[in-house]
Amino acid sequence: MAGVPDMTRKLYVTILLVFALVLLAALPLYGSAYLVIFVSRIFMYVILAVSWTMFSGPTGNISLAAAAFFGAGVYTTAVSGPSLPLVAVAVIGGLVSFFLAFVVGALTLRLKGIYFVMFTFGLVELMLNFILWWEVNITGTTGRVVASVSNATVFYFLLSIILILCLVDSLLRRSPYGLALRALGTSEEAAAHLGVNVTAVKVMVFALSAFFMGAAGAVMAPRWTYIDHKIAFNPNLSFVPVLMAIFGGISKPYGPIIGATIFTCMEEFLITRLPYHYMLIFGVIMVFSILYLPGGLVDFVQRVRAQLLERKHADS
Amino acid sequence: MIMTLLDIVTAGLLLGGIYALIAVGLSIQYGVARVLNIAHGEFIMLGAFITWTLFTILGINPLLSLAVSGPTLFILGLLLYRTLLASLRERSASPEAFEGNSMLACFGLIFILQNAAILIWSADIKGYSFWSFPIKLGGVAFPANRLVTLGFASLFCLVFYFFLARTRMGKAIRAAAMDAEIAGLMGVDINRVLALCFGFGALMAGLGGSLISISYNIQPTMGLEYTMIALIVIVLGGLGSILGSFLGGLFLGLAGSIVTYIEPGLSIVAYYAIFMLLLLIKPQGLLGQ
């Protein structure tokens, strides 16, 4: 590939991507129901991992609250019932999470990063407890039945969210906001001196990333048919996307996508065979990738390739 | 009225003693070793299960098993620091980078410890009865085990406080908390001190877990809630302040007991409300600089 000019290579990659996307979009037409559900699950994790990286990647402020925003979306669907179309529910679910993240961000992001980590850590537990108390004392019912939606509908909604998310993410990277975000990730003080309103930028991007998590939750909700606080606010959904993004590599936009895909496949393979071992294995992988794969898989592959190229040059 | 008040305050202190102990452990790990150990609750869980196992299988008195759970967790913490965290510290470009990386590594530890515990002990809720007879205290009856728990928790905090204040090692730890690099230049064996501090944190988590298992039900996924409480307490007391963590623990216990009296089911929500208020008004905590 080294001999191919850059432009041609870019064209090849684009054609290949479009082809893969068309093949993927047509999956409900030729794939089995199992495959459609499985790929939807990959989509869900991709959305969580990519939107997590959107904020935590450039800023270095590690959010542990993905499950809270996802759960807020799930609950939106559960509460609004079958009266609204799924598009509306997805947008409302996203907005609920956006608002929640905005409040959390405004509260914590003006302080040192450590407060943000600490605050987001328990947010899922807070939501879970609050909703349980609300349902027991105010509405008097716990758990709700959600009208089911066809597999293909969930699939296409999630795929659309991913496309919008990737578009927004790449626009953000090129926009002044994205530049400001990267600048403050390197040094908040320096960015502030250059005229960046550090807190405002961080809060907005954090809320934006939560919007997509909430929308994904709202769309995924019909998958469970029955929803209670424990199903909606599952702490593992805070942890697993972080692991996926870090394993894949947060330096490149496609790193979290690769990480999410690999881990969902692993989860699918292991979940029935070794239901408890697999989470343990995830933990071991997490520790090892922090120790030995600091830039994630993407960075590792790049380094290996660079080394191979160097050797080739040395040979010739 | 006065009876109820006394009731609430005593119940709050009983709860607060445990909170104080586990928060002091987390505080020493973050304040000195710069590791935000979000797997702290899992260390607590291990301590609880060690005691449960020794009591239900071998019939060993839970108070005697403190002598097993504490040292076991201490060694585990020490080993984790020596193997994993020390090499992370060497690899990390800056102290900030180490803070982020070590937090994520602890994140991995949550998965490992929790699921290892489920494999060993199953995911069921467990409990046992030990000294649950009532003791009258100012007219109010309390289970004896809660009083013992408070007594031991306070004792451990006190011992640790004097260790920090009066011994040579304590002085080295305090120096390292102020500035690890300078302390190293002054002849403090910094790697040893940081490893010890992480070990002490795990030790207190283990003791806390054992004491918790005497009075409350336990299960492998219990850690999350305790980590959350410990995090709130160390912010409440001021990051890095040992005395602050101790007082913060008692305070949060009291608050929890008052809320539980008025509206059971809202205690976690109340802890978070306190956390939010604190971040708004005085983020440096009650005793922080």
A73-111 pLDDT tens trace:
999 888 887 778 889 999 999 999 999 999 999 988 888
> Domain total for chain B?
1
Contacting residues for B45 by C-beta, under 8 A, at least 6 apart: B113, B114, B117, B209, B218, B220, B222, B223, B226
Q: Is the pLDDT of residue B289 over 60?
A: no
Report chain B residues touching chain A, CB-CB < 8 A: 36, 38, 84, 87-88, 91, 96, 99-101, 103-105, 107-116, 118-119, 224-225, 227-228, 231-232, 235, 239, 263, 265-266, 268-269, 272, 275-276, 279-280, 283
Residue A290 is nearest to which of B108, B231, B268, comparing CB atoms?
B108
The Cα of A271 is separated from the nearest Cα of chain B by a number of Å equal to 13
pLDDT band for A1, please (50, 70, 90 cuts).
Answer: very low
B149 assigned to some structural domain: yes
B243 assigned to some structural domain: no
Burial degree of A58 (CB within 10 A; 0-12, 13-18, 19+): buried
Burial degree of A215 (CB within 10 A; 0-12, 13-18, 19+): buried
Residue A133 is nearest to which of B110, B235, B265, comparing CB atoms?
B265
pLDDT in tens, B30-53: 988 889 999 999 999 999 999 999
The Cα of A167 is separated from the nearest Cα of chain B by a number of Å equal to 29
B130 assigned to some structural domain: yes
- Return the bridge partners of A227, or none: A144
Contact between chains at B38 and A276 (C-beta distance less than 8 A): no
Of A2-11, A29-38, B86-95, the poorest mean pLDDT is in: A2-11
pLDDT of residue A67: 94
Contact between chains at B104 and A108 (C-beta distance less than 8 A): no
Cα torsion through A297, A298, A304, A309, rounded to 10: 170
Q: What is the pTM of this model?
A: 0.90
Distance CA B164, CA B155 (A): 14
> What b/e string do you get for B41-59 counting C-beta neighbours within 10 Å, with b at 16 or more?
bbbbbbbbbbbbbbbeeee
Domain that holds residue B90: 24-222
Interface residue of A103, A189, A250, A280 to substitute, partner B, most B CBs within 10 Å: A280
Interface residue of B102, B111, B114, B124 to substitute, partner A, most A CBs within 10 Å: B111
B34 assigned to some structural domain: yes
B281 assigned to some structural domain: no
B chain contacts of residue A137, beta-carbon cutoff 8 Å:
265
pLDDT in tens, A179-206: 888 888 878 888 888 778 888 989 999 9
Region A287-297: mean pLDDT is: 87
B66 assigned to some structural domain: yes
